Amino acid sequence: MVSVKRRGSYLMLLDKLAKWSIFDIFTFITFIAALSIKMLSCADSIFLPNGFLDFEIVLKTSWGLYANLIAQVISQLYSHAAIYYHRKVVESGIKHIHETKPIQLLKSDSTKSSSFITLQNTFKITRNYDKEKSETTLSEHSDETIIDNIDLDALCNHAYGKLSGADHNHLARVSPFVNRIIFFFGISTAIVLFTAASISSFKFEISGVFGFIIASLAENGTSITEYSLLDIFLLMRHHMSVINTSRGIAGLVTLSILLLFTTLIAGLTFVFLLLFIWFVPMKTKQRDRFLLYVEIIEAWHYTDVFTLSVFMISAQIGRLSTDFGNQFCPYDDFFATIAHFNVLSERDARCFYILTNLQPGVYLFILFSCMLRVLRNFVVSASKQYKKEIELQAKQMTEEYVESSDEDGVNLKRIREKCIKKHTLQFTDKFSWLMQSIDISDLSVNLSKIGDRSSIETSSLDDSSKGE
């Protein structure tokens, strides 16, 4: 038995770790590129006729890999479903408590009596929207309804409260210059990702006798092949035409879509979704929905997994290629003798070996992951503090009504002082160096000016409509 809070933490942790289970799939995709060897003899070769040694080695996938992939995708979807129903259970439980269980508050601290008062959770808040119109009474008015009625603005323009500061007469707002930096930072993050996917991330060089033959017959005179993320995607499309079986084509289509969607498409969507949440004004429910999209995209964003798979294959491809070459060329003693008499260099005194070198693309992927982490923490932290302040405002509005309507005069402020919670770092604490201080009095003056301007524009529109 675990608490509800701990169960939610465990589910979120498992959801974040679920994407690393697909690491072996990405490593195998990189290994497909490493063992994709194509040799075409030159047309102007004086030793061999044209097309005499034309061949291509393709690593064919099988059902074991596909079964592993299907199991991991189902596990990821199951993790999302578990989190969804966990949150529904929590939401249903809170709603049930608010509707059925009364809140009992102790009347006095001096007497340890059992005299309690019951505060019903269903409130009737009366608001006069217009003096000439009748009063509108809102029954069963909860904090949720109050939040929906509060005018919300964009995160980039919101005046955040300094929750941990001693001066409560000042608010904090991100300056317009910082907002421009955030916009260009997000665009630069997307450009870094697209550049990393386009340029070479690693290159393979085939050495040994086999590599010497490939280099001598190749048009460019080398046995080096460079790959980017998009090159791997195109390579698997080429393998479809080579394998030319329905099972093989279906598997390679699945792998190629998984590779492209979880790296490039998911990464770009992640960046632009964060920018959309930061700059576009929206209601709290809408922002929560987009933050849920961010959570889902983050779970299916595998750029970090691809980067680690490149490092893994670069460290293991030499040993794997040696084992692969020994299957059809077990002549190590013969090549050692040739190398001893300097007939071949030690580098080429083997049948088949693959050397790998990391290229700038993989380092750009690392840079993109760091930039995306900074942007994600910035926007999500601001969203959390924004929601907390809106909920606190709605709660204060509700409690003010309870205090004014309570016949026994219960001091709710005294009760709240007993329930002081431990303060956690907020958005204004983490990024205080990007904030500018705003006086509450100046903010209220600006809001009153805006209200006067809007009333003037409304009256002018009414006069023009009457004139027409």
Q: How far is CA 37 from CA 56, 139, 182, in A?
A: 6, 73, 44
Position 393 in a domain: no
In a domain, 412, yes or no: no
- Containing domain of residue 184, as a range? 4-93+179-378
Count how many domains the chain has: 1
Whether 153 is in a domain gets the answer: no
Kindly give the residue spans of alpha helices, DSSP state H, lying in 199-302: 208-217, 229-243, 246-260, 266-279, 284-299
**What is the CA angle 200-206-210, rounded to 5?**
150
Domain presence at residue 256: yes
Tell me if 285 is assigned to some domain.
Answer: yes
What does each of the 468 residues of the chain score in pLDDT, given as a tens digit? 778 888 888 888 888 888 898 898 999 888 888 888 776 665 555 555 555 566 677 777 888 888 888 888 898 999 999 999 988 888 888 877 766 654 444 444 444 443 333 333 333 333 333 433 333 433 344 555 555 555 567 888 888 876 454 455 678 888 888 999 999 999 999 999 999 999 999 998 888 777 777 777 766 667 788 899 999 999 888 888 888 788 888 888 889 999 999 999 999 999 999 999 999 998 888 888 999 999 999 999 999 999 999 999 888 888 887 777 777 777 767 777 777 777 666 666 777 788 888 999 999 999 999 999 999 999 999 998 888 888 777 666 655 544 555 444 444 444 444 444 556 778 888 888 888 877 665 554 444 443 444 343 434 444 544 444
Residue 132 lies in a domain: no
CA distance 439 to 229: 51
Residue 139 lies in a domain: no
Residue 287 lies in a domain: yes
301 near 266, Cβ under 8 Å? yes
Contact 164, 320 (CB under 8 A): no
